[in-house]
Amino acid sequence: MPKYIIERDIPGAGQLSAAELQGISAKSCGVLRQLGAQVQWLESYVTADKIYCIYIAPSEQAIREHAELGGFPANRIEEIKTIIDPTRAE
């Protein structure tokens, strides 16, 4: 199944409290349960004004449905074609 990276513009994301991040996470997980096993959230990275999320999903449309149901922005969605890391240099 394809893997995606989602860029979410959230001004002040880096200043969100642990409780606020927990609330966002709980909301996302609730929507994922509603959608069924077809969409999986792997992890997210919080920066100053954005959150980058890694998901496995059957399509970009499934990612957009998750965002819409959860009230999350999905400003940019890109399918991950491959993953590289320092071991690739060996």
- For the chain, domains (ranges, CATH) are 3-89 (3.30.70.3090)
Which pLDDT value is given to residue 10?
Answer: 96
Q: List, for residues 10-32, the tens digit of each pLDDT value.
A: 999 999 999 999 999 999 999 99
Which pLDDT value is given to residue 76?
Answer: 98
Top pLDDT among 8 and 88 is at 8
- Predicted TM-score (pTM) of this structure: 0.91
Cβ-proximal residues to 57 (8 Å cutoff; 6+ apart), any chain: 1, 2, 4, 38, 39, 40, 63, 66
Residue located via tokens 């959150």 = 51
